[in-house]
Amino acid sequence: MHRRAFRTKMQAGQIPLLLPGHCCVLKVHNSISYGIKNNDELVQKNFTLAVEECHVQNTAREYIKAYTTAAESVKAFGAAPEIIPIFLVHRPSNDVPYATLEQELIGDFVKYSVKDGKEINLKRRDSEPGQKCCAFQHWVYHKTDGNLLVTDMQGVGMRLTDVGIATCKKGYKGFKGNCATSFIDQFKALHLCNMYCELLGLKSLQPKPRKAASAPKARAPPPAAPKKKSFGPTVKGKS
């Protein structure tokens, strides 16, 4: 809705991991005319959106690198997901000169987690990549004391792209994400730990159920006192 994506190839350049002839995806934000008075403001808006996209994804990439390091200390964990790098490109001959460029992911594209936490994706819940993505979200939430959450995780297999970040209202360590703060609260309310959360020693975010107060045992009634026989007046026999 807000971007157009194009399959393209690198012709020249020195971007790491993307060699000339390599298949790539170029993403361009649609021109937003509302409130734009001249072309300079349009270009500035285009630049701001493209930079924000790079900032968010590459920030999430740094968090998942630290997550991978933590996972490597647990033998049973296996491979961790990867967030691919994204690059800012400038095309001076184009009316919308700024765009982002990333490697093309080939295969079935799956959403493992959504922004608001309301959608249930069976492939997310049952698959190994999906469970590891949810454990990554829990790990980041724990490491930032609930102030930051990587969300909208999606991609092909273990390779992810186009992620989002939600932060508390004031931001976290000078960084503000591109998703609503409410996503953090929704994640806390809806996240169910899986085996990878347990392997990393993460504690459940769900409150422990309170033990129901046991009803007081009914006391046995005291034994009834034996009834006394009542004797009526003695009737004297007639003479």
Q: Is 204 among the domain residues? A: no
User: What's the pLDDT score for residue 228?
Assistant: 57
- Return the HEC string of the chain: CCEEEEEEECCCCCCCCCCCCCEEEEEEECCCCCCCCCHHHHHHHHHHHHHHHHHHHHHHHHHHHHHHHHHHCCHHHCCCCEECCCEEEECCCCCCCEEEEEECCCCCCEECCCCCCCCCCHHHHHCHHHHHHHHHHHHHHHHCCCCEEEECCEEECCEEECCEEEECCCCECCECCCECCHHHHHHHHHCCCCHHHHHCCCCCCCCCCCCCCCCCCCCCCCCCCCCCCCCCCCCCCCC
> Number of structural domains, the chain?
1
CATH number of the domain at 17, please.
3.20.200.10
Q: Is 219 among the domain residues? A: no
Domain of 11, in residue numbers: 3-199
The pLDDT tens digits along the chain (239 residues) read 578 899 988 777 667 667 667 789 999 987 655 555 567 888 888 899 999 999 999 999 999 999 999 999 998 999 999 999 999 989 888 888 999 999 999 999 998 886 555 555 555 557 899 999 999 999 999 999 999 999 989 999 999 999 999 999 888 988 888 888 899 999 998 888 999 999 999 999 888 776 655 556 666 666 666 665 555 555 555 44
Q: Is 207 among the domain residues? A: no
Q: Is 7 among the domain residues? A: yes
User: What's the pLDDT score for residue 239?
Assistant: 43
Q: Is 214 among the domain residues? A: no
Q: Is 132 among the domain residues? A: yes
Q: Is 57 among the domain residues? A: yes
Q: Is 82 among the domain residues? A: yes
